[in-house]
Structure 1
Amino acid sequence: MNHFSILRYALLSGIITINVTLVSAQSFITEGKWRGVFHQPNGTDVPFNFEVHGKSAAAAKIYLLNGEERFETGQPVQKADSLFIPFDQFDTELAFKAGDKQLSGFFRKKDHTGRTIPVDATFGQLYRFDEKGEKPAGDISGKYDFTFKSENGKEDKAVGLFNQKGNKLYATFMRVTGDSRFLEGVVTGNQFFLSAFIGGGVAYHTGTFDNTGQLTGKNFTGVKNPEAALPDPYALTYLKEGYKTFDFSLPGVDGEKVSLKDDKYKNKVVIVTIGGTWCPNCMDEAGFMAPWYKKNKNRGVEVIGVQFERKADPAYVKNAMENFKKRFGIEYTEVFGGLADKKAVAESFPALNTFLSFPTILFIDKKGNVDKIYTGFTGPATGQYYTTFIKEFNGEVDKLLGQPAS
């Protein structure tokens, strides 16, 4: 081979090598299960799990795995060797430098404001927390009275629902405002570890337990109590004295005003939900309400979702509400209530004695009178409490539908 041939061969080889490198860099990440780890500023590593389906970013579906839940992310976007996994309802994203079986990057807001959290992920790691520790010192399944204490000393009461299977642990915390959704972790020795992630923030709880039935953590104590209970959710929010009805005139995504006095709602049972597209418990509520409405809309019942958002910019609001509608298949009317501030909500609806939680659900009879108000939401993670809510919800609607319009 002469020098020209050698040079020509080398150049061709280089071109071929470059092309292969570019194709490899732009190939999508491996399908299957991944384990990610958030590296918190305080030195704590918090794990989460996700699953990838699809061989390209445009066709892929990615699911966050927490307990029995598979929570779909937004559509991933790939640019060269960068992979962005958006969480549209929270205005956040995972921004990775992508390798075939290894990712590294940050969890951050889409607009790049605020702090970022370093995160990496590895393909094929099926565990969540390291399970190579001691065998569990006991079974901490059960119901607990929890007291959480903030740095300023403020106490927050909750009911903890724990379900242990071997060294696997599943839990949720119920508060008057709603539940903490699906937490997953392990028990090793007399320690327990729990985490959850769906894109809004990183949830992490760890503590110890003793043989007296008490759980102890840095900012909480939990005492086992089979009778642990929260205040009646139907007794927390109600109409002020002198009020019987509830009304508003608020714009839909296209600006048209909607009022309970519109002909569409006359002589019908109306369910009004006050929430926000950014709110995890509101997502659970919409996950119930959307299919329920499809099944029951021909019975003389209507639903209005009043959304309070983090920004009042019309383009932002329209995008957020339309994404929410698409995600849950919502066919009932949605309107924009204003900024997501509980005090502002209470001022917007002066008939209410207070406003404690996104979501809050109002049941309105055919005459336009408010019959009941449900504060918060007990979602699928609460098991029997969710089942009870559905039963009570259907019972209340059936009762109102059976009443005369006048």
Structure 2
Amino acid sequence: MKIKIYYSFIIGALAVLLSSFNYVSALKNGIWLAKLKTTSGNYIPFNFELKDSAGKKLMTIINGKERFKVTDITVKGDSVLIKMPLFDSEIRAALSSGFLRGNWVRHLGNRNVLVPFSAEPDVSWRFFSSPAKPKYTISGRWSATFTDEDLQNKDVTVGEFKQTGNDITGTFLTTTGDYRFLQGTVSGDELYLSCFDGSHAFLFTGKISNSQTITNGKFYSGASSVQLWNAVKNENAKLPDAYSLTVLKPGYKKIDFTFPDLNKKPVSLTDDQFKNKVVILQIMGSWCPNCMDETAYLVDFYKKYHVKGVAVLGLAYERTTDFATSKKNIEQLKNRFNVPYDLLVTGYTNNKNEAAKSLPALSGIVGFPTTIIIDKKGDVRKIHTGFSGPGTGDHYTEFTHEFETLINQLLAEK
């Protein structure tokens, strides 16, 4: 009797394994077209590629030049779970007739946001299989104005586009960072751009009235956010000085705090490890794509400048004040980029006002990331709001050159 039960168990287990194997095989390799459905009924499209590696599926999300690798993919029966390596989100879907359908799930501390998700294989285009011949070429720099649908809030940004035929890539630079790697299509006189990185899902549409004007623009973000935008061609368009947006309050020269590291050891700028060093203080969060770009840069920067007397310290403002949850999310970022410097758990949320309370010497925190540059005497010398990542092209190169020139000057001071 026991033997029969044992063999039944073995046969059942093999059946489950074979079933999972069949579903893994049905999850087709190649380029897919995915779509996220917003509450407005519009779809935010993006492409990804699937490959096999050691019996597992590997996903690469495609946004312009960026290739965002996702390795944590589990297939059980017809269920597919795709966990983003950063940003605490995942795709939960079912595989049916070769298609994926389910939800993109964003964990926001005290709630989850579900956005309907679907994907089909063997589709390399993003918006149109056969777009109309473009009426205009809009490569270059644009001054773009974004407003809420009620026209109450205005944000002036700089658009940077590169168009080849129907294909277009680019980004929008704002005072708090950029929209990273956007990719899309110009079809006739219509502009379409999108991206997905596991944290943000963006769709930009607009009418190209002529080679100098874009009107009737709409910006869809995440599950439900909608903004209006318009733009005019302006090769001299620029943002306010990023070093002017956050300052020290009158009477302050230094900044002070004590927060725990990932092992709950308290860390302060008065510790011996920071004495007589130029210190780069990174105000960031594991949920923040621009912080991800800055972290990637600072890791390489640290390797080059640490031996010269520079220290880097990250202050993580997470979506939850629960230490264990924050630690898990921060460790994902730390492991993803092999961060060699300490990341501290602040215990404050990613709300800008709450974050500002933890650093009372600052006039406020305008955006994430914010980078504070401290000289060897412990005095704050510069505060930079936002980060222009590699998706901004020359802006990224200009920032890194300017930043490292400043650091070299501070290192030379007695």
| TM-score, normalization by structure 1 | 0.90
- Are 2:20 and 2:78, in contact at CA under 8 Å, matched by a contact in 1? no
The residue aligned with 1:333 is: 342
Is 2:102 the counterpart of 1:105? Answer: yes
Compute the displacement of 1:55 (Å): 4.6
* Structure 1 counterpart SS, 2:131: coil
The residue aligned with 1:296 is: 305
CA gap 1:21/1:243 in 2 versus in 1, 3 angstroms: closer
Is 2:182 the counterpart of 1:180? Answer: no
Structure 1 portions without partners, runs of 5+: 1-15
* Structure 1 counterpart SS, 2:123: coil
Supply the distance in 2 between the matched residues of 1:163 and 1:281 (Cα, whole angstroms). Answer: 21
Larger mean CA deviation between 212-221 and 329-338 belongs to 212-221
Q: Deviations over 1:202-252 (max 9, x none)?
A: 200111112261111141110111110000111111112211111211111
The residue aligned with 2:9 is: none
Supply the distance in 2 between the matched residues of 1:68 and 1:212 (Cα, whole angstroms). Answer: 25
Where in structure 2 are the equivalents of 1:350-389 lying within 5 Å? 350-389=360-399
Q: Deviations over 1:90-143 (max 9, x none)?
A: 222111112584222221235995442222212221111104132000101111
Q: Percent identity between the aligned chains?
A: 39
Compute the displacement of 1:340 (Å): 1.1
Match of 1:264 among 251, 265, 273: 273
The residue aligned with 1:67 is: 64
Compute the displacement of 1:20 (Å): 6.2
- Are 1:29 and 1:100, in contact at CA under 8 Å, matched by a contact in 2? no
Partner letter of residue 380 of structure 1?
A: P
Where in structure 2 are the equivalents of 1:217-228 lying within 5 Å? 217-218=217-218, 219-228=228-237
* Structure 2 counterpart SS, 1:90: coil
Match of 2:35 among 31, 34, 37: 37
Supply the distance in 1 between the matched residues of 2:331 and 2:120 (Cα, whole angstroms). Answer: 34
- Are 1:131 and 1:186, in contact at CA under 8 Å, matched by a contact in 2? no
Larger mean CA deviation between 369-378 and 101-110 belongs to 101-110
Supply the distance in 1 between the matched residues of 2:413 and 2:369 (Cα, whole angstroms). Answer: 26
The residue aligned with 2:333 is: 324
Aligned length: 388
Q: In terms of Rg, which structure is larger?
A: 1
Larger mean CA deviation between 41-50 and 108-117 belongs to 108-117
CA gap 1:252/1:120 in 2 versus in 1, 3 angstroms: same
Q: Say what the alpha-carbon RMSD is for the aligned residues.
A: 2.1
Supply the distance in 2 between the matched residues of 1:248 and 1:183 (Cα, whole angstroms). Answer: 37
Is 2:214 the counterpart of 1:215? Answer: yes
Name the structure with the higher strand share.
2
Supply the distance in 1 between the matched residues of 2:158 and 2:17 (Cα, whole angstroms). Answer: 58
Compute the displacement of 1:283 (Å): 0.4
| TM-score, normalization by structure 2 | 0.89
Partner letter of residue 48 of structure 2?
A: F
CA gap 1:250/1:21 in 2 versus in 1, 3 angstroms: closer
Structure 2 portions without partners, runs of 5+: 1-13, 219-227
Is 2:242 the counterpart of 1:245? Answer: no
CA gap 1:206/1:268 in 2 versus in 1, 3 angstroms: same
Compute the displacement of 1:312 (Å): 1.1
The residue aligned with 1:8 is: none
Supply the distance in 1 between the matched residues of 2:360 and 2:16 (Cα, whole angstroms). Answer: 67
